Amino acid sequence: MIKFGIDRLLSEPELRRELVGKRVALVAHPASVTAGLQHSLDALIAMGDLNISAAFGPQHGLKGDKQDNMVESADFTDPVYNIPVFSLYGEVRRPSGQMMSTFDVVLVDLQDLGCRIYTFITTLLYILEEAAKHKKAVWVLDRPNPAGRPIEGLMLQSGWESFVGAGPIPMRHGLTLGELGRWFIDHFKLDVDYRVVEMQGYRPDEGPGFGWPSEDRVWINPSPNAANLNMARAYAGTVMLEGATLSEGRGTTRPLELFGAPDIDARLVMAEMERLAPKWLRGCKMREIWFEPTFHKHVGKMCHGVHIHAEGNFYNHEDFQPWRLQALAFKAIRRLYPDYQLWRGTDFKYEYTNDVLAIDVINGGPMLREWVDDPVAMPSDLDLAAKADEDSWGEERQRYLLY
């Protein structure tokens, strides 16, 4: 039976003993729950031996109140516990000095998706940086990486750092949040009091979950559109759709598991993908679908698209390559429709960047877009560049693994 970091902290008094007498803050979201599905804030306060002095909410808020992407949350006072709840996705992205003054130790209990783009990892980096400045302690209550250990994608290039690009790591990094914190501290040379409350019984290479303990724990959305394990597995690819004019399924019940548009033929796209790089399509099943978004891109229009099923008997953990699959979909569309307006323009300010294309921000540089748009570039060209980055990261991350 697996035990997450929060469950260990609650059940092991010797762990909490180091926190007694200190002011303790919590960074959490809706998936920050115990094995019994009690929210971590409620559970920690109910223990009665800790002084919980503040709480923080990342993107989408402590309670997951913001459905859409890039919608800010405000600070508020918790109506039950009368403690300040600070937003780290509102007026600020990193905690201010005033926020830092409310605690001695901050517990970070965030369910991540294992993808560079997911903003919770950048929030962790900013907390670590501010904790180093203000001499505060940071404890990560570790949780699984539902995408498991596989590494995939290009490394973020220098100069392309953003709130969706914390540092030079590939799209799928294969680390838990606690492990990633260890890498942040080394890479950015931070002098900070850091501790990981490790999980017990976590075996990221074992099925059927391969990163997510599907037989022990239910899935709770860490953000409103992270609805299930299939989305978590596909996300390292489908997140790139946020930089494209294609719908990623926002406004449907299966966002970020599919893609489509009113003016493409999904059958032709899938056939072209199969022709170009069949190896990139292994480990999952693509299914032709029709959908009509109720909000967001192509709202109210019937879209022809593809649903990616990295689940059930169709899923092979070692073969599935979501980043390559989605890149291949872009390439197929570009080849079928050379003049298609595939990329969102610079007027779309993705995560508050200026004068750059969202697709480049997402990929940590222009290489993927340039490969898609180059009529003579082949899958082998992208594979060669990505493989070099993946191998390099595989070696670099080795000493930060805890499981």
List, for residues 200-210, the tens digit of each pLDDT value.
Answer: 999 999 999 99
Q: Each residue of 51-106: pLDDT tens digit? A: 999 999 998 888 766 555 556 677 899 999 999 999 998 888 899 999 999 999 99
**Domains of the chain in sequence order:** 5-220+396-400 (3.40.50.12170), 229-385 (3.90.1150.140)
- The secondary structure of the chain in percent helix, strand, coil, rounded to multiples of 5, reads 35, 15, 50
pLDDT band of residue 353 (cuts 50, 70, 90) is confident
Cβ atoms of 305 and 247 closer than 8 Å: yes
**Is the predicted pLDDT of residue 400 greater than 60, yes or no?**
yes
Residue-averaged pLDDT of the chain = 95
**pLDDT of 65:** 60
For residues 361-380, average pLDDT: 98
Residue 322 amino acid letter: P
Q: pLDDT above 90 covers what percent of the chain?
A: 92
Percent of the chain predicted with pLDDT > 70:
98
The answer to whether residues 316 and 283 touch, using CB atoms and an 8 Å cutoff, is yes
Using the predicted structure, report yes or no on whether residue 137 has a pLDDT greater than 90. Answer: yes
> Coil, strand or helix: which one is 379?
helix
CB atoms within 10 A of CB 31: 19
